[in-house]
Chain A
Amino acid sequence: MRKLKSLLLVGLLVLSCVLTACGGGKKGGNIKVGVVNNPPSESGYREANVKDMEAVFSAENGYELKTAYSIKNDEQLQAAQGFITEGVDYLLISAAETTGWDEVLKKAKEAGIKVYLFDRMIDVDESLYEAAVVSDMAKEGETAVKWLLDQNLSEYNVIHIQGAMGSDAQIGRTGALDEQFASGKMTKVVQQTATWDEAEAKNIVESVINSGASFNVIYAENDGMAKGAVAALDEHGITHGVDGDVIVMGFDCNKWALRELLAGKWNYDGQCSPFQAQIISDLIKGTKTASSKKIINEEKGFDAKALTQSDIDTYGLGE
């Protein structure tokens, strides 16, 4: 038992070493950037986000990157304070909570440090930051629904599998589809939340199949749930994908999901881009200018028919 404990401890140590090692960078006349982010362990999205930051703000690109990861707001605040004291040039923040940041951002401003928000907004006066690069979940939904309408199906009988109710992603991705249900253009066979749970999604679809109701679209608000839904289809001999009876739609663009698209088993995957680093870098270096404080990170929707392997390599998350 003691062994196990010490093993865990060693594991923790190694992990923290790796994380701090990432924070190091070459010294010199580089632009100093302090990034306060959620830990990569939070999700596949975050993992890609962290990697993207590291890739863009590299020494080769003329940056010196310092990072701090925590899911706790107060720890994040402390880290930001630390970066200000150290004297970074730019402070990049993806906050754990939307509140409590006024004080720190004011100090940054006094110290002449420019602040960029990414991924998540903060409840502060706009003057306290240069720009916020964020995803527009509602737009993700709209893009997806627009794609669906473009398929020109004679009828749309949709199984809508929602994410955890109340989350940004769920609200955004549900909105556009709800409009279609309201207008009568699409028929709601069932609308259920599986709270991002793959197995739950499978149960929901199985229940519809067992009830004998007909459907031709599965709109799942993330890749995992789409996979769960497809498992149910497979078990009941219902074809899906490019040449199948049922259109399968997912979100997040995990690499494995895009590969399903490439194989023609799914039809559509909507991007939720974790790649804000390049945009911020462009703003810092002045190669681009912000038209407004809130910059929407442009996100794509991938059609199985148009997808290429290089898209997977470029936009896919995880492995």
Chain B
Amino acid sequence: MKKNNKKFLSGGLGQLTIPLIAIALLFIFNLIRDPGFFSIGISHNNDGNAVLAGNLISIINGASELAVLAMGMTLVTAACGGQDISVGAAAAIAGSVFVKVLKSGSGISGGTVLLAFVAACIVAMLFGTFNGVLVAVFKIQPMIATLILYTCGRSIAYWINGGATPTVSSHIITAIGSFIPGIPIPTPVLIVALVAILFKLLFHFTSLELFTQSVGINGSAARLNGINSTFIKLLSFIILGVCVAVAGTIGVSRLSLINHETLLLDVEMDTILAVAIGGNSLGGGKFKISGSIIGAYVIQMLTTTLYAMKVSSTDVKAYKAIVIVLLVVIGSPVVKQRFGKLLERISSKKKITVKGAEE
């Protein structure tokens, strides 16, 4: 019994315990509130494709940008022990570049979309490098270093398209942002899966995970074992850059429009929260990408639940804050330790009573 309890808290599911419990609670809450909340139906969209619809789909779909960003942010957090708060602004830049390239050609074909995405990636990676150099080389605290891009990023995005909010109309873009004909699952969800698989492959075919964790847990020891921690930190920012480009592209494609002022506005805080809810230490070190993805879904589920309850969207942020504070506090080492002790005490009491019965 005692062993099980411990395992439940520290081993086993380990850091995924809290986010999974959070998801379960939200599920139960919604089922009680409205049994039909999670019903999934098949409807036909305006392009005539059969697609899945329902709150659950909306949640998984809506969390896509957040999930992609959270994956990259997890790596930065693990390596640098700090967070990049410029992801929203950088995504606006990437999205603007994406649209700029799309509109520079005569028509939009698969090739131009690919080219535009590659351009967005390169630009986002460059800005990632900028942040990374400040953090890894100049040893500036990540939040302070990325404050620079956070502040000026959307202005840079403005310059790219000259202040307009250009729209792109192309069935390819619509396919990226909503559904590919013949596939009932929203494309952004597929993209999240793809990015997650890419991360999995990256960790499988390189020892990046080991190195990143080593740098994050004990930078001094990592250095003395020959790890180039500057490079690892820089790399984490560049990888986050790719995630930023992906998120920006999804965001733009959803609406076929780039508004540099509103694209992924305030997403950085949700991203950091997703990482935290996922049980990753914001101080760096050991990490689980899967935790951050679940964290992203927790946040989106919360938002969708609040919308469904017709909570005014001005109030949504406040309610979200309350729930998130609870989650983060419950997930904190202090509470975990206390809770673990409590469980131990309960289980030891039980043992005593059992013993007593035996006697």
Which of A's residues lie within 8 Å of B, judged by CB? 1, 4, 8, 11, 15, 40-44, 46-47, 165, 190, 192-200, 202-204, 206-207, 209-212, 224, 227-228, 231, 233-239, 254, 256, 318-319
- Chain B residue nearest in CB terms to A166: B314
**Given contacts A190-B310, A254-B165, A318-B164, are A198 and B62 in contact (CB under 8 A)?**
no
Most buried by A among B55, B62, B156, B313: B313
Contacts of B62 in A (CB 8 A): 203, 206
Q: Is the CB of B163 within 8 A of A196?
A: no
Contacts of B179 in A (CB 8 A): 235
The minimal Cβ–Cβ distance linking B203 to chain A, given in whole angstroms, is 28
Query: Told that A41-B159, A198-B262 touch, could you supply 9 new A-B pairs with CB distance under 8 A?
Result: A44-B165, A192-B313, A194-B313, A196-B261, A198-B255, A203-B304, A204-B307, A235-B178, A256-B257
The minimal Cβ–Cβ distance linking A249 to chain B, given in whole angstroms, is 17
The minimal Cβ–Cβ distance linking A170 to chain B, given in whole angstroms, is 11
Q: How far is the CA of A42 from the CA of B235 in the complex (A)?
A: 35
**Given contacts A41-B158, A194-B313, A204-B313, are A4 and B126 in contact (CB under 8 A)?**
yes
Q: Is the CB of A193 within 8 A of B313?
A: yes
Within 8 A of A (CB), among B137-188: 155-156, 158-159, 162-167, 174, 177-179, 186
Contacts of A318 in B (CB 8 A): 164-166
Instruction: Please tell me if B223 contacts chain A, counting CB pairs below 8 Å.
Output: no
Q: Is the CB of A203 within 8 A of B165?
A: no
Q: Is the CB of A234 within 8 A of B47?
A: yes
- Chain B residue nearest in CB terms to A192: B313
**Given contacts A197-B262, A211-B308, are A227 and B257 in contact (CB under 8 A)?**
yes
Q: When A and B form their complex, what is the total count of cross-chain residue pairs whose Cβ atoms lie within 8 Å? A: 123
Q: List 7 A-B contacts (CB under 8 A).
A: A40-B163, A41-B159, A192-B313, A227-B255, A236-B53, A256-B166, A256-B167
Contacts of B162 in A (CB 8 A): 47
Q: Is the CB of B164 within 8 A of A44?
A: yes
Most buried by A among B43, B264, B307: B307
- Chain A residue nearest in CB terms to B54: A210
Instruction: Please tell me if B236 contacts chain A, counting CB pairs below 8 Å.
Output: no
Q: How far is the CA of A138 from the CA of B202 in the complex (A)?
A: 56
What's the dominant secondary structure at chain B's contact region? Answer: mixed
Which among B164, B251, B307 is the interface contact of A319 at CB below 8 angstroms? Answer: B164
**Given contacts A234-B45, A236-B43, A237-B44, are A207 and B308 in contact (CB under 8 A)?**
yes
Instruction: Please tell me if B229 contacts chain A, counting CB pairs below 8 Å.
Output: no
Instruction: Please tell me if B130 contacts chain A, counting CB pairs below 8 Å.
Output: yes
Contacts of B58 in A (CB 8 A): 203, 206-207, 210
Q: How far is the CA of A235 from the CA of B174 in the complex (A)?
A: 10
- Chain A residue nearest in CB terms to B304: A207
Q: How far is the CA of A254 from the CA of B263 in the complex (A)?
A: 18
The minimal Cβ–Cβ distance linking A59 to chain B, given in whole angstroms, is 24
Instruction: Please tell me if B312 contacts chain A, counting CB pairs below 8 Å.
Output: yes
Which among A4, A47, A228 is the interface contact of B130 at CB below 8 angstroms? Answer: A4
Contacts of A199 in B (CB 8 A): 251, 254-255, 262-264
Within 8 A of A (CB), among B204-251: 251
Q: Which 5 A-B pairs have the closest CB atoms?
A: A207-B307, A318-B164, A197-B262, A256-B167, A234-B46
**Given contacts A210-B58, A235-B51, are A228 and B313 in contact (CB under 8 A)?**
no
The minimal Cβ–Cβ distance linking A161 to chain B, given in whole angstroms, is 9
Contacts of B44 in A (CB 8 A): 237
**Given contacts A1-B129, A41-B158, A256-B166, are A193 and B314 in contact (CB under 8 A)?**
yes
The minimal Cβ–Cβ distance linking A14 to chain B, given in whole angstroms, is 10
Contacts of B255 in A (CB 8 A): 198-199, 202, 224, 227-228, 231
Q: How far is the CA of A194 from the CA of B314 in the complex (A)?
A: 9
Contacts of B259 in A (CB 8 A): 197-198, 224
Q: Is the CB of B262 within 8 A of A192?
A: no
- Chain A residue nearest in CB terms to B186: A235
Contacts of B264 in A (CB 8 A): 199
- Chain B residue nearest in CB terms to A39: B163
Q: Is the CB of B43 within 8 A of A237?
A: yes
Within 8 A of A (CB), among B15-73: 36, 43-47, 51, 53-55, 58, 62
Q: Is the CB of B55 within 8 A of A210?
A: yes
Contacts of B256 in A (CB 8 A): 227, 231
- Chain A residue nearest in CB terms to B168: A256
**Given contacts A41-B163, A193-B312, A256-B166, are A235 and B45 in contact (CB under 8 A)?**
yes
The minimal Cβ–Cβ distance linking A133 to chain B, given in whole angstroms, is 23
- Chain B residue nearest in CB terms to A189: B310
Q: Is the CB of B167 within 8 A of A227?
A: yes
Q: How far is the CA of A41 from the CA of B164 in the complex (A)?
A: 9
Instruction: Please tell me if B292 contacts chain A, counting CB pairs below 8 Å.
Output: no
Q: Is the CB of B163 within 8 A of A319?
A: no
Q: How far is the CA of A254 from the CA of B165 in the complex (A)?
A: 9
